[in-house]
Each structure stands twice: as C-alpha cells, then as structure tokens.
Amino acid sequence: MMFGNGFQGVGNCFGFAGGYMHGGFFVLAFLLFAALALLGTLFLVRKSHGNKADNAVMEALKMKLVTGEITEDEYISKKNLLK
C-alpha cells in the first residue's frame, strides 16, 4: 500500500514527530493569518474614512477662497498646513 500508517498526520508522518508539526503550528499560523487580515481590514477602513474627512476640509477651504472669506495666500498656507 502506498500510504501506510501515519500518512494523515498520525505517527511520524513527513518526518515530523507527531505528524504535521504536532498540529499546534497550523493553529498558530491560522490565528496569525486571521489577526493580520483583521488588522489590514481595519487599517484600510480607517484610511478610507480619513480621506473623506480630509476631502471635506479641503472643500470647505476652497469654498472660503471662492466666497472671498480668505485670500489666496491664506488658502495656500492653510492648504500646505493640512498636507
């Protein structure tokens, strides 16, 4: 038979005692992957919300320039301050 005892992780399979590195490695690897995926998702969500807030501030600044509330020099200095 091509696949003897221990092929599915029971015994000394693939040269690792206990088979599949004792099983704990894959649980830890999965948890690490899940945590990284969650952190990446949170980062992207926060980044997208931050861009919307920044765009709203820039639009308000542009409107102040258009309506004459601030001068062009004030607009440029505040725009540089926001970046």
66: in domain: yes
Residue-number span of the structural domain to which 34 is assigned: 12-82
Of the candidates 48, 45, 76, 44, which has an alpha carbon nearest to the alpha carbon of residue 62?
Answer: 76
65: in domain: yes
pLDDT at 82: 80
**Span 42-73, pLDDT tens digits:** 988 887 776 666 788 889 999 999 999 999 99
3: in domain: no
52: in domain: yes
4: in domain: no
**Span 1-45, pLDDT tens digits:** 455 554 555 555 544 444 555 566 777 888 899 999 999 999 888
pLDDT at 51: 64
49: in domain: yes
pTM: 0.40
42: in domain: yes
pLDDT at 44: 87
DSSP 12: E
State the total domains in the chain.
1
Cα separation, 34 vs 15, whole angstroms: 28
Backbone angles phi, psi at 13, to 5 degrees: -95, 140
